[in-house]
C-alpha cells in the first residue's frame, strides 16, 4: 500500500520518547521507524512538540437519543476531540435504554454520521439477555448493580448471575457500576456528605465481592472506583479497573453542592487521597471520565432533587496532561491508562503508535498550559466543576489520519465511525 502521509518528530513509542517517522495510508499506520520513505505529504512536527496516540475514553454518557437537551453525539464528540480523545465508548442508559438488538440498531441509526470521533455503543446487561446476538455489534456490555440515571438495574443474584455468564461467554468485556443496591438508602439529602451516607463505601465493596465470588478472573471491568480497598479487591479478583478524575480531586466537605453530586458519590478526604496515591503509583488500568452531563438548570435545583453526574470528557485528560507537565505522573503512565490499556482491554485497533493501528494521533507542546475557561468548552450542558484548573490541551488531533483539531480549533468534519460497524 502506498504511503499517503508521513509525520516525523518526537513520539512516544511503547513507553519511550524518540525521533520517529510514522507512515499513514487509508487511515492506518503502515510504517514506524527512524526513516520512512514515500508519502505525498510529509509533516515535521518540530522540536517543541511530541506525538502521542489518541486517547480512548472508555466511559461516557452522551444522552443521545432521548435526553439531547443535556448532550448530543455531535456536542459530546466535539468536546472529546478537543481533549485529544479520538474514540469514546458510550453507555447504554439512554432513552430507550440499549437492551436488545432492536434498541441498539435504533441508537446506531440515530448517531450515525454525527460523530467527530470514533465510537462504540455498549449494551446493558439485563435478565434473559440474548448476549450472543448483541455481542458482535458492541465493544462491551454494562452491568448496573446500583441505581443511577436510567432504569436498567440488575442486582439480584438469581437474575444477575446467569445473565453475566451469558455475557462473558461471548468473550466481550463487561463494565460494572459496582454499587450493591441493597446497601443504598434513600434518605433526604442536602449535600454531598448526605449523598455519601446514602451510598456508603460498603456498597462498592459488597458489589465487587459478589462479582469476585462468582466471576473471578473473568473479563470484568470495575468502573469509577472510589476507594483503595475496592481497588485491591478488584485487582485480587483479576478484574480491570477504571477511575475518574472527580473521585481523585474532590471530597465531600470542600465540594458539597449539587454540582458535585455523582454516583458513586465523592468520598471523604482520606479516601480521596489514598485513591489518588494509587493512581500516581500506576495501580489503576484506565482513566474514564464517566462524562455525565445534566443541564445547569437541573444542577441548580435543591440538592435532593438534582440529578447525579459530572461532565468531564473535555477536561479530564488535559488536566492529567498538566499533571505530566508538572512531573506528578510520567507521560508513559498517563498514555498507558488513557490509550494503551483501553485499546487493549476493549479489543480496539487503537491506543498505540504501531503498524496496523488506526492513525489516531495528537500533538502536544508540553510547555504550553492554560486555565480552563468553562465558557469555551463544547459540551451542550454548559457547566463544569473544573473551571480555573490548569490544563494542557493538544494542539493537533487526528482521527484515522484526518486532522480534526489544528492549533486548538476544530477544523474537521463528523467522520467518526462505529468501531463495531
pLDDT digits (tens, 9 = 90+) for 273-317: 999 999 999 999 999 999 999 999 999 999 999 999 999 999 999
- Residues 48, 59, single domain; the answer is no
Catalytic annotation, pick one of 290, 322, 358, 360: 290
- Residues 296, 403, single domain; the answer is no
Kindly state the DSSP code that residue 259 receives in the 8-state scheme.
Answer: G
Model confidence at 149, in pLDDT bands (50, 70, 90)?
Answer: low
Among 305, 323, 345, which residue terminates a domain?
345
Query: For the domain that residue 46 is a member of, what is the CATH number?
Result: 2.30.40.10
Q: Does residue 192 fall inside a structural domain?
A: yes
pLDDT at 150 over 70: no
- Residues 326, 380, single domain; the answer is no
pLDDT of residue 147: 85
pLDDT at 162 over 70: yes
Residue with grid cell 493501528, as numbered in its chain:
357
Which triple of cell numbers denotes residue 93?
A: 442508559
Average pLDDT over residues 15-38: 96
pLDDT of residue 421: 85
* Beta-strand pair 396-399/402-406: antiparallel
Average pLDDT over residues 95-112: 97
- Residues 261, 181, single domain; the answer is yes
Contacting residues for 162 by C-beta, under 8 A, at least 6 apart: none
| CA gap 103, 40 in Å, rounded | 44
Q: Does residue 362 fall inside a structural domain?
A: yes
- Residues 311, 242, single domain; the answer is yes
- Residues 290, 362, single domain; the answer is no
Q: Does residue 420 fall inside a structural domain?
A: no
pLDDT at 151 over 80: no
| CA gap 82, 120 in Å, rounded | 19
180 labelled catalytic: no
What percent of the chain has pLDDT above 70? 100
Q: What is the mean pLDDT of the chain?
A: 97
- Residues 327, 365, single domain; the answer is no
Phi and psi at residue 212, in whole multiples of 5°? -65, -35
User: In terms of residue numbers, what domain contains 88?
Assistant: 55-345
Average pLDDT over residues 396-403: 98
pLDDT at 268 over 80: yes
Contact 278, 231 (CB under 8 A): yes
Contact 211, 220 (CB under 8 A): yes
* Beta-strand pair 409-410/390-391: unpaired
pLDDT of residue 148: 75
- Residues 253, 127, single domain; the answer is yes
Average pLDDT over residues 161-171: 98
Contact 23, 29 (CB under 8 A): yes
Average pLDDT over residues 328-340: 98
- Residues 380, 278, single domain; the answer is no
pLDDT of residue 1: 72
- Residues 65, 162, single domain; the answer is yes
Among 345, 373, 394, which residue terminates a domain?
345
Query: For the domain that residue 320 is a member of, what is the CATH number?
Result: 3.20.20.140
Chain centroid, CA 101 distance in Å: 24
| CA gap 396, 417 in Å, rounded | 20
pLDDT of residue 24: 98
* Tally of domains within the chain: 2
Contact 209, 234 (CB under 8 A): no
Amino acid at each position: 500500500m502506498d504511503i499517503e502521509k508521513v509525520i516525523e518528530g518526537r513520539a512516544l513509542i511503547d513507553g519511550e520518547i524518540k525521533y520517529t517517522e510514522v507512515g499513514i495510508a487509508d487511515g492506518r499506520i503502515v510504517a514506524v521507524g527512524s526513516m520512512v520513505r514515500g508519502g505525498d505529504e510529509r509533516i515535521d512536527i518540530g522540536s517543541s512538540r511530541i506525538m502521542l496516540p489518541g486517547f480512548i475514553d472508555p466511559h461516557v454518557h452522551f444522552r443521545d437519543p432521548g435526553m439531547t437537551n443535556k448532550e448530543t453525539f455531535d456536542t459530546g464528540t466535539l468536546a472529546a476531540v478537543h481533549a485529544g480523545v479520538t474514540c469514546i465508548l458510550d453507555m447504554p442508559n439512554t432513552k430507550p435504554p440499549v437492551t436488545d438488538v432492536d434498541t441498539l440498531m435504533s441508537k446506531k441509526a440515530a448517531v450515525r454520521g454525527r460523530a467527530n470521533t470514533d465510537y462504540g455503543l455498549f449494551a446493558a446487561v439485563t435478565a434473559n439477555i440474548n448476549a450472543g446476538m448483541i455481542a458482535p455489534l458492541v465493544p462491551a456490555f454494562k452491568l448496573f448493580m446500583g441505581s443511577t440515571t436510567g432504569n436498567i438495574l440488575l442486582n439480584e443474584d438469581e437474575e444477575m448471575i446467569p445473565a453475566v455468564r451469558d455475557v462473558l461467554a461471548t468473550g466481550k468485556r463487561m463494565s460494572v457500576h459496582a454499587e450493591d443496591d441493597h446497601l443504598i438508602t434513600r434518605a433526604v439529602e442536602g449535600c454531598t456528605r448526605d449523598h455519601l451516607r446514602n451510598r456508603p463505601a460498603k456498597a462498592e465493596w459488597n458489589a465487587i465481592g459478589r462479582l469476585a465470588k462468582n466471576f473471578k478472573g473473568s473479563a470484568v471491568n470495575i468502573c469509577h472506583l472510589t476507594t483503595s480497598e475496592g481497588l485491591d479487591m478488584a485487582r485480587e479478583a483479576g478484574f480491570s479497573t477504571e477511575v475518574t478524575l472527580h473521585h481523585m480531586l474532590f471530597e465531600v466537605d470542600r465540594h458539597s453542592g449539587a454540582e458535585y453530586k455523582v454516583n458513586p458519590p465523592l468520598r471523604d478526604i482520606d479516601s480521596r487521597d489514598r485513591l489518588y496515591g494509587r493512581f500516581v503509583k500506576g495501580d489503576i488500568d484506565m482513566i474514564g471520565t464517566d462524562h455525565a452531563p445534566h443541564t445547569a438548570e437541573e444542577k441548580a435545583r435543591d440538592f435532593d432533587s438534582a440529578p447525579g453526574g459530572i461532565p468531564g470528557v473535555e477536561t479530564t485528560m488535559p488536566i492529567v496532561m498538566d499533571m505530566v507537565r508538572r512531573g506528578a505522573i510520567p507521560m508513559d503512565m498517563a498514555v498507558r491508562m488513557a490509550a494503551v490499556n483501553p485499546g487493549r482491554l476493549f479489543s480496539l485497533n487503537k491506543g498505540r503508535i504501531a503498524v496496523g493501528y488506526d492513525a489516531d494521533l495528537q500533538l502536544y507542546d508540553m510547555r504550553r498550559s492554560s486555565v480552563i475557561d468553562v465558557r469555551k468548552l463544547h459540551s451542550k450542558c454548559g457547566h463544569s466543576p473544573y473551571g480555573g484548573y490548569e490544563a494542557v490541551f493538544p494542539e493537533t488531533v487526528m482521527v484515522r489520519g484526518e486532522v480534526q483539531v489544528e492549533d486548538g480549533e476544530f477544523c474537521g468534519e463528523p467522520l467518526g465511525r462505529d468501531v463495531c460497524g
